[in-house]
Amino acid sequence: MAKKHYEWRLGEPPPLIGEHSLAKHRILDRYLRRYIEICTATPVQERLNLTIVDGYAGGGRYRFNDGEVAGSPIILLEAIAEMQDQLNRARPKGFEIRTDFLFVDLNRRHTEFLRAEIEQSPFKDMLDDTIHIWTDDFNDRVSDAIALVKRRSPQKGRSLFLLDQYGWSQVAFRSMRAILGELEKAEIFLTFSVDGLIDYMSEEHLKRRDYNDIDADPDFVKALLSKKEESGGWRTLIQNSLYRHIKSATSAEYYSPFFIRSPDAHRSYWFIHLSRHREARNVIGNIHWEENNISLHHGGAGLQALGFSKGADPRQLSLGYEFDDHAKTLSKQVLQDQIPRIIRDGVDADLAPSLEQLFGRECNDTPVTRELFEEVLVELRELGELRIEDAYGKDKPRAQTMSWSDRIVLARQPTLFGPFGPMGETNN
């Protein structure tokens, strides 16, 4: 996961790494381990085919404080090896994670450094077999990367792409469209310096190639620039437009536009997760709650937290919203009011929505996870605001957890202080 300002040279110490980059490494490591747990949940399963692509890999090692730490290629190799060992011990017949690793970097000095790191590691025998190192621009080789994925996983294309670029224009959106379009089980982690783009935007730069790579035509850039003329909160308005643009331009069904703070630079970077599956979206959401000291989003509590309704004042969302206990408590309070209204206003009365439909429809624009969503649904049931039924219509009056197929039904008689009761209506 290289940075333009990071340089690796054989025979010289590796570059220094910042706290925010270490946080990204922790998120990736946690996610990969949880990903393997989910993909290997079937007890009789004996193997998993997977390809991991690090498109901006760097040299594989950094300096931090008085020592050295692993970079993303080594972190990925170690995580898979440890999960492989764990599964082998747990399964009577053993288990095999058949993984291809592809590490790409445009700078030859970086790939030479990375190769030397792997040659000194326990993974040296995998070099040029299941570990592939390319000295290239990732965008120029994306079709070859996709082909490598398909050789390992022909049907589903199970793969993780780590695109930790420096800035905002190194990863072409057409590359991500190709990945998500051709590989059903592909997921992407993208670093995007939204502050860098906002600072760069100007009328003088309208014809620069950088904009073409992120599918930003002059009219779109002018529309973003026009938001600077609005009153307070213009930066948040631009961020809102940009993350919707990224979702649309990459064709991702699920996305998480959350930030990693850089305490040293006093800037924030989007660490966006893009996929076609709502369970993947939920897993990354949970991990951001675990990394609450450095993860944040610019939005409110509850559902629809990252979007703006017409006429809303963006200044209310201009401050970072942290993934802490206060945020969790506030989100639960907001959800108790929002969920019954969403069911009442947006669902066919003949068929109550399932948990999958309700959460899947709303999860992109919120830091709320399935677990928090379920917790509030159970509380609303206890308050008499709704009922929970299984897929066949059988009432579940005491269940504390839910299946994706369980349906949520509004209570026939609203409570006095609920959102639709007499006292609730007077406060809205």
Q: State the pLDDT at residue 311.
A: 44
Q: State the pLDDT at residue 159.
A: 97
Position 1 pLDDT exceeds 60:
no
DSSP bridge pairs for 256: 273
CB-neighbour burial class of residue 210 (10 A; exposed 0-12, middle 13-18, buried 19+): middle
- Residues ≥6 apart with Cβ < 8 Å to 329: none
pLDDT in tens, 108-152: 999 999 999 999 999 999 999 999 999 999 999 999 999 999 999
Q: State the pLDDT at residue 426.
A: 39
Compute, in degrees rounded to 10, the torsion defined by CA atoms 166, 169, 175, 180: 80
Percent of the chain at pLDDT > 70 equals 80
| pLDDT (average), residues 22-47 | 91
DSSP assigned state of 116: H
| pLDDT (average), residues 327-350 | 75
User: What region, left, alpha or beta, does residue 58 occupy, with left being phi > 0 and alpha being psi -120 to 50 degrees?
Assistant: left
Q: Select the more confidently predicted residue: 2 or 171.
A: 171
Listed range (64-73, 129-138, 244-253, 306-315) with the worst mean pLDDT: 306-315
Q: Select the more confidently predicted residue: 50 or 286.
A: 50
Listed range (130-134, 319-323, 371-375, 410-414) with the worst mean pLDDT: 319-323
Percent of the chain at pLDDT > 90 equals 39
Alpha helices in 168-309 (DSSP H): 173-182, 194-200, 209-213, 218-226, 234-250, 278-290
User: Which residue type sits at 180?
Assistant: L
pLDDT in tens, 202-261: 877 777 888 889 998 888 888 888 877 665 566 777 777 887 888 889 988 888 766 676
- Residues ≥6 apart with Cβ < 8 Å to 266: none
Nearest to 76 by CA among 20, 29, 109, 128: 29
| Domain 19-322 shares a fold with domain 326-426 | no
Q: Topology of domain 326-426, per CATH?
A: Arc Repressor Mutant, subunit A (1.10.10)
CB-neighbour burial class of residue 340 (10 A; exposed 0-12, middle 13-18, buried 19+): buried
Encoded tokens for 118:
């792997």
pLDDT in tens, 155-202: 999 999 999 998 889 999 999 999 999 999 999 999 998 888 888 888
Q: Name the pairing type of β-strands 386-389 and 407-410.
A: antiparallel
Q: State the pLDDT at residue 198.
A: 84
Q: What is the mean pLDDT of the chain?
A: 83
Phi/psi of residue 23, each to 5°?
Answer: -65, -40
| pLDDT (average), residues 17-27 | 87
Nearest to 159 by CA among 282, 38, 35: 35
**What is the C-alpha to C-alpha distance for residues 147 and 141, in angstroms, rounded to an integer?**
10
Q: What number does CATH give the domain 19-322?
A: 3.40.50.150
Nearest to 72 by CA among 63, 82, 62: 62
User: Which residue type sits at 260?
Assistant: I
Structural domain boundaries of the chain?
19-322, 326-426
